[in-house]
Structure 1
Amino acid sequence: MKTAVAFLAGVATGWMARSTVDTSRGAVVSVATAAFDLMGWTRRLIATEREYLSDLIAEARSRADSHQAPRRRPADASARPMENGREGHA
């Protein structure tokens, strides 16, 4: 009894698959088209995420630089450029 049910289920599945696809070539082309669409979608997703990550890193660098800027020592206005390895004063 189980064998007959399994056989009928297999026949029904094959019949439905055959009725939805004209030829096996059509099925292969449909699968390949879906694969190319998926690859294109994946490439766009990766490019978008890469750009987002790049923007995130640039913003973090900018904030880090702006936090470090006030800590830098301002140049002494009375000091002249170094001459012979020693700093000269007016």
Structure 2
Amino acid sequence: MPDDVRGAIVTPSQGRLMATWMPLSGPSRIPQGRVLLSWTVAGEDCTNVTAHLGLAGAQVLLAIWPNLRGDWSGVVHSTVAEVTELHAALRLAIVVLDRLTD
């Protein structure tokens, strides 16, 4: 990871993860429903990866994958995709419930 970023905001798109760097100088808040991945070298050919989820009122620790080896994107892909899709479904359910109760 470059020194001037907090991590990468990732979103699933057509079966792949699309990433945008989140600079240290920018806002510290993770956009709602987005996942911020950050990683550090943990030894020879090992990487520690952390994921945080942006929610309306907070940012929460989503997952930690310690000591991943090689190309670790496949390991985190399913978690990022499932959480992002679940968040979108919950937001839709809230909108529908709000409209039904008005």
Task: Please say whether Structure 1 and Structure 2 have the same fold, judged by a TM-score greater than 0.5.
Answer: no
Q: Higher helix share goes to which structure?
A: 1
Q: TM-score range by the shorter chain?
A: 0.3 to 0.5
Point out which structure has higher relative CO (alpha carbons under 8 A, 6+ apart). Answer: 2
Who wins on radius of gyration, i.e. which is larger? 1
Q: Higher strand share goes to which structure?
A: 2
